A and B are shown apart, each in its own frame.
Chain A
Amino acid sequence: MEIDRLDGRKANQLRPLACSRNILNRAHGSASWTQGDTKVLVAVYGPKAGTKKNENPEKACIEVIWKPKSGQIGKLEREYEMIVKRTLQSICILNINPNTTTSVIVQVINDDGAVSFTLLPCAINAACAALVDAGIPLKHLAVAICCCLADSGYIILDPTKLEEQSMKAYAYLVFPNSILSVRPEGSLKVQGEPMEHGVITSGTQGAMSVDDYLNCLERGRAATAKMSTVLRRNLQPQIAGDLSKAG
């Protein structure tokens, strides 16, 4: 059965994506990510010498500061900070610059109305692009997507605020991005599954059955290929004509 979405999208269709890098003059790396009306700007500073008190000095430390669009900073922001920090820790190579701190500051520019669930995936995508812009060594990139479950059991991707209000449950999922490889396709798989199918982070709200959750995973994976291409295209630097012929 088809669900009519308010803005005419199909169930698997994402909102228009836009990504730009190197926006802020003073930050060492910056990126903004826009999905429909939700827009997040992330700045990265670092790596700088020294770690915080409770952190392991043999690894690089990532510090996330979440700035909401309005209102005071409370427990919700702390939770977002922790989730983004754990996600970024799993994609950064932490033993390259031990005893350093990289600060990631997430600023919510626009949010579909009040706090929406798609804010976190948008922030993770932007944070990933900003880390690439700053040149922090990474194992691979992460793409995040939000899906929600309607009462009828139908799953739709990338909901807007209005759609979220009528949903039974939602989940946000973070997957590794699709990579270019010189190896033939067959040898890319780890235990029979391509690497893009791994889940880095997953969070849910509301009650959903296990089958519904696995369904969400499937839909999410299908959509991340498109997001990976957007990320790849937008992170390419502006190339001057004869820079590569120098020397």
Chain B
Amino acid sequence: METKPSGSPTSLVDQFVMPGDEALDLSTMSNQTIKLGRSLRQDGDVLSVMKAGTFKFSKPNKYWVESSQKRYEPHAGDSVLGIVVDSKADNFLVDIKGPALAFLPVLAFEGGTRRNIPKFEAGTLIYVRVVKANPGMNPELSCTDASGKAAEFGQLKDGYMFESSTGLSRMLLSSPTCPVLDALGKKLSFEIAVGLNGRVWVNATSPSTVIVVANGIMNSEFKSGVQQRGMVEKLLQNLKLST
């Protein structure tokens, strides 16, 4: 990172910013409507940063700060992996690694009625969608997509779940497919569910495949594309040697 010799930088887009940095001067753009994404807040005439990360901009008018943490901040529309903690009359209480427990209404399933409420015990792993995430309230979840279909949401049986950071989850979900998943997918067959809250679930027919996939993903966080492919090669070689 460069230190600016004198004067102020004209734009902090794509730069590393820390809490307190003033990322955008709003007085120079009084005619535009800007969308504030994550970790930015309006402080009078400037947008100031709340979390350390990279300041990003996407056309036409969206600004946000991209950072990677171990905890999750719930955001409407995200797909996450939750663990059921308790079940009440109307809701399941689900832990999604956020500041508060989330509620999953008992009827929020495709074709859900009072007669066929699923029996989720404490400890069940479920793939859900965040419907509402308002500050100060518990987030609300649903096992259907926006149109009411099941769409792969629901309980994840068997397999292995491990925790990651939110940045790694975003990288796994990026398109085009991230290099580590691409390299693993060419040689092995497995099933994977990635939650934006930093949880990843892997399932495959044999345990050694599950372990190789999990290790590959966990080691790929700070590597570039080429390094990821090299690392996957080595893991696959070890797998062949042992079988």
Decide: A232 and B9 in contact? CB cutoff 8 A: no
Number of A positions contacting B (CB below 8 A): 46
Residue on A nearest B1 in the bound complex, by CB = A236
CA distance A145 to B121 in the complex (A): 52
CA distance A5 to B69 in the complex (A): 42
Decide: B1 and A240 in contact? CB cutoff 8 A: no
On whether A49 and B51 interact (CB within 8 A), knowing A138-B20, A236-B1, A246-B171, the answer reads no
- Residues 128-161 of A contacting B (Cβ, < 8 Å): 132, 134-141
Interface of B is mostly: loop
CA distance A113 to B8 in the complex (A): 43
A residues within 8 A CB of B48?
139
How near does chain B come to A92, taking the closest CB pair, in angstroms? 9
Does residue A110 face the partner (Cβ distance < 8 Å to B)?
no
Decide: A137 and B225 in contact? CB cutoff 8 A: no
Partner among A48, A99, A179 whose Cβ is within 8 Å of the Cβ of B21: A179
Q: What is the interface residue range for chain B against chain A?
A: 35 or more
CA distance A244 to B56 in the complex (A): 9
Q: Give the interface segment out of B22-30, B151-159, B209-217, B230-238.
A: B22-30
Decide: B20 and A244 in contact? CB cutoff 8 A: no
- Interface, chain B (partner A; CB < 8 A): 1, 3-4, 7-12, 14-25, 39, 41, 46, 48, 50-52, 54, 67-71, 73, 99-101, 135-136, 167, 170-171, 174-175, 178, 221-227
- Interface, chain A (partner B; CB < 8 A): 28-29, 46-49, 93, 96-100, 132, 134-141, 176-177, 179-185, 188, 229, 231-233, 235-238, 240-244, 246-247
What are 27 A-B contacts with C-beta separation under 8 Å? A29-B70, A49-B101, A98-B136, A99-B100, A132-B18, A132-B52, A135-B51, A137-B19, A138-B19, A138-B20, A179-B18, A179-B20, A181-B21, A181-B46, A182-B10, A182-B11, A182-B23, A182-B25, A182-B46, A183-B22, A184-B7, A184-B8, A185-B7, A231-B18, A235-B18, A242-B225, A246-B175
Beyond the given pairs A97-B135, A139-B48, A141-B19, 14 more chain A to chain B contacts, judged by CB atoms under 8 angstroms and listed by A's residue number, are A29-B70, A48-B99, A49-B101, A97-B100, A132-B51, A135-B51, A136-B51, A137-B41, A137-B51, A141-B20, A176-B20, A236-B1, A236-B16, A237-B68
